[in-house]
Amino acid sequence: MTTYVPKEVQAGLDSARLARLKKASRLRLSADGVTSPVLRMWKTGFAIDAAKAPNLRGLVDLYDGANHLFQCLIVASERDGGDMVFEFKRLTVVSHQPPLDFAQSADAPVALIEHLH
């Protein structure tokens, strides 16, 4: 018994799989003003549609919907079927407040209230 699948059927299966992955994932990648949906993400990298990122590398931003999650330095790793796999060289969590250059105690006052006479 052979497991031959015609090219048209395989192309239909691949496009359906890609559409399902794009719809299921809220993660997206932004680089140079261009956004691409992230199909899969793991601890050391992620994958996107190879047609969307043929020569993508360097500094990119990862978003979950409108929330900016990470600023990443990436390098292309390999092509896996219709997906391009990237590895993180650096993955930095985005903070919405500036970093402190001192240790802040847990019982520090929030504000200063002065008595006016």
The DSSP annotation for 10-79 comes to HHHHHHHHHHHHHHH--EEEEETTEEEEEEEEETTEEEEETTT-SS--EEEEEEETTEEEEEEEEEEEEE
**Model pTM score:** 0.64
Assess if CATH 1.10.3720.10 describes domain 27-93.
no
Reported as a single tens digit per residue, the pLDDT across 3-57 is: 777 788 777 777 766 666 556 668 889 888 888 888 888 999 999 888 877 678 8
The token pair at 110 is 């929030």
The gap between the terminal CA atoms of the chain, to the nearest Å, is: 96
The residue ranges of every structural domain in the chain are 27-93
Nearest CA among 81, 61, 66, 106 for reference residue 10:
81
